[in-house]
Chains A and B, each alone.
Chain A
Amino acid sequence: MKKIPQVMSALGAAVATALVAMAADAAVLPTTQTDSSWYQDGAAAVAAKVAQARNTGTAKNIIFFVGDGMGVSTLTAARIYQGQQAGNSGEENRLSFETFPYSALSKTYSVNQQTPDSAPTMTAMITGVKTEDGMLSVSADSIRGNCLSSQGNELKTALELAEDRGKSTGIVSTARITHATPAATYAHTPERDWEADSNLTAEAVANGCHDIAYQLVMDAPGDGLEVALGGGRSYFLPNTVTDGEGAKGRRKDGNDLTAKWSEQFTNAAYVWNQAQFDAIDVTKTDHLLGLFEASHMQYEADRADDTAGEPSLAEMTSKAIDMLAKNDKGYFLMVEGGRIDHAHHAGNAARALADTVALSDAVKAALGKVDLEDTLIIVSADHSHTFTIAGYPARGNPILGLVHEPNDEAIAVNAATADDGLPYTTLGYANGPGAKQGARSDLSGIDTTDVDFLQQAQVPMGSETHAAEDVAIYATGPGAYLFQGNVEQNVIFHVMNQAGALGGSKY
């Protein structure tokens, strides 16, 4: 990772400040306290904050990471999960972006729903305007699913502003790149489900609305996105075509948008498997489209088992930055950990946590490639899930395991039991497929750490739901200091606009 000059220059002062503070404390505090590593680490953390200089410069580059469905409880559990995977107790671990100097909480409600979906939340983050559920980068004056009502209500996105400024742009997702979160960066539609032309209504066709995949390739902003990597191949292929992994295309209009991509843009390439992805020479490619699955990409936990192989989120992020960094004017890149949400919907915590760690790895990969002096990195989520971390498990208790309370004699043997006399896991869901009608299942003898285990839930539902509480924002680089306290989700756009001088408005 490249260094932040003003922070480094302040480091000596920070250490000195910490030592002075500790010396002063020593006069009133017992050495038992001041000698404690907890105490000293805490003092050092405060000293670093005191010494921290605001980077008020302009962000030439902006990288915006979105963990779809990555609520605060998901971050905590993933942090512990990653730490325990490394052989540690886990709680002390930090995901890569949890070391960022600035953070805030984001209110995620949409114009019409207390608990939103990804469409209005990403619209808020990428345009600065909250809208209604299901709609992508069109205002709430539109009616969901009505093409005509959306016309004239399109909202310009940060990605489009970056294109206008001559910057390079890219999107990366483990979900379909026509899915709500990535789509909101480049498409404008009153219905998130219009991913291929076969999803359009007669009204939409009659009034000239284009599907999301078509918009990415044929209605692209500026000189077109330089990078688009993720899943969703079938939405780009005609329904007469079977792709390399045996899936049929979904387009009725006969358009092969993967071919159009190469026709539409200069030095363009299309790849659909790991080998082709690895073979891309970024110095000779200016527009890269990678579609690695017919629908969403594999969960990180299953990725190694993919038929044709597919890159990790970190690999896609890394190559995207290599592609985009060729532009002296800078770039805007959106990276989505798209499958955290899906694993939660399935009530399957292990896969959700593995994909959260994959997002953390992608952030780490980005940190290794950029200069934080001129690159703003933001990590946030669109919404949360009904995911909980509960009970009183001992420190280091396996995060996917049954709750063992911190009783030295019993921890290795007996799981804690609830009022029904049955053991329970630390992780659970308020609703979802893991719930049973009637009594809870007895988990004694069940390997709850198995990647396929469904955590128990309270309310039985076919699919676990989103949740309405705030999500976190982490930021570093120019303008990152603007994230403080509790903000409306649409403030994220305004920070990007301000820090990146994207020209959306003057501040």
Chain B
Amino acid sequence: MFYKALMLLALGSLSAHGASVCPATAPAGAWGLEYQVSASQSGAEPRQVQLLRRGAQTALYSPEHQMAEWWHFEDPKRPGFSRVFDQQQRRIDYYMGDLRALGVQAQQEEVESFAARHLLGQLTKQGSSPCEHAERYQGEINGVSYDLLWSPVLAAPLAIVTRKGEVERRWQADKLLGKDAVNARFATWQRYRETDFADIGDMENDPFLAKMINQGFIEHREHAVYNDQGQPLATGHSH
């Protein structure tokens, strides 16, 4: 009963906020969604994460950390990947061989959909939606209950609420970013000093890269709905 009550609370929240962004058509060229990400765990502060899309390029950007994970799927079988560090104006580029050597297997549609595409086939589509141009899906997978508000025109979620036990996580799109903002950000990142991931181990003299070597890459998993292997957190297994 307690679980059901929490579910209703969660769904009620989604209904209340689900329509703040609900486009009827996808903006031409480039667009982005800014999500508010929060968790019910004590001490977990709400954070922002942006999903930026332009053609075959998708980036997940954390304004708080000023870091992005930027995917290129011009050749879907051989994606390119960059970690972007705004503060240092640096970029780490991963070629296909680097991703393979690290065991990273990213699916284009999962990255582009904020890792929600896999949920559609496993959840039940609801008859009503808080948004005229969005579809609502609900259900439970592996003990996690989901409430998903999906935008068919963007092929991305407008909101996701998950609950496992007493822990609730929510991703809520509250702003649609226009093409100028997205293009400007991609152009800025393109100008950053780039380093191939394969070269990092040989460049311990570079203070920025030395930090990468010694401390690894900061994974902002609290923002992402996929893990550091590029797999949706709710599915898959990585070694």
Contact = CB atoms under 8 A, between A and B. Distances in A.
Contacts of A453: 103, 239
A345 B201 contact: yes
Interface string A460-474: 111111100000000
Interface stretch (B44-52, B148-156, B210-218): B210-218
Nearest to B96: A302
Contacts of A342: 97-98, 101, 198, 201
Interface stretch (A3-11, A293-301, A490-498): A293-301
Nearest to A443: B239
A452 B202 contact: no
A18 interface: no
A433 B102 contact: yes
B215 A343 contact: no
A462 B204 contact: no
Contact of B239 (A454, A464, A465): A454
Given A453-B103, A462-B200, A463-B200, A346 B212 contact: no
A134 B200 CA distance: 13
A296 B102 contact: no
Contact of A351 (B93, B101, B201, B205): B101
Interface string B187-220: 0000000001111111111100000111111000
Given A295-B95, A441-B239, A117 B202 contact: yes
A133 B206 CA distance: 12
A346 B102 contact: yes
A346 B101 contact: yes
A446 interface: yes
Contacts of B215: 461-462
Nearest to A459: B214
B166 interface: no
Mostly, the A contact residues are loop
- Pick the most buried of B75, B93, B196: most chain A CB atoms within 10 A of its CB: B196
A144 interface: yes
Interface in B48-103: 74-75, 77-78, 93, 95-98, 100-103
B95 A296 contact: yes
A115 B205 CA distance: 12
B101 A461 contact: no
Contacts of A180: 202
B198 A295 contact: yes
A489 interface: no
- Pick the most buried of A433, A450, A451: most chain B CB atoms within 10 A of its CB: A433
Given A302-B96, A462-B216, A118 B202 contact: yes
Contacts of B105: 452
A246 interface: yes
Contacts of B75: 246, 307
- Pick the most buried of B96, B198, B213, B214: most chain A CB atoms within 10 A of its CB: B198
A452 B103 contact: yes
A465 B201 contact: yes
A348 interface: yes
Contact of A461 (B93, B102, B202, B214): B214
A341 interface: yes
A409 to B, nearest CB: 28
A99 to B, nearest CB: 30
B105 to A, nearest CB: 8
Given A462-B213, A462-B214, A463-B213, A348 B101 contact: yes
Given A307-B75, A463-B212, A452 B200 contact: no
B66 to A, nearest CB: 18
Contacts of A246: 74-75
Contacts of A133: 205
B101 A299 contact: yes
A405 interface: no
A254 B206 CA distance: 27
Nearest to A464: B201
Interface of A: 117-118, 133-134, 144, 179-180, 192-193, 246, 293, 295-296, 298-299, 301-302, 305, 307, 339, 341-348, 351, 433, 441, 443, 446-448, 450-454, 460-466
12 contacts: A180-B202, A296-B196, A301-B100, A305-B96, A339-B97, A342-B198, A346-B102, A433-B216, A452-B100, A453-B103, A462-B217, A464-B201
Interface of B: 74-75, 77-78, 93, 95-98, 100-103, 105, 196-206, 212-217, 239
Given A246-B75, A462-B200, 14 more contacts: A117-B202, A117-B203, A133-B205, A192-B202, A295-B93, A339-B97, A342-B101, A346-B102, A450-B239, A461-B213, A461-B216, A462-B213, A462-B214, A463-B212
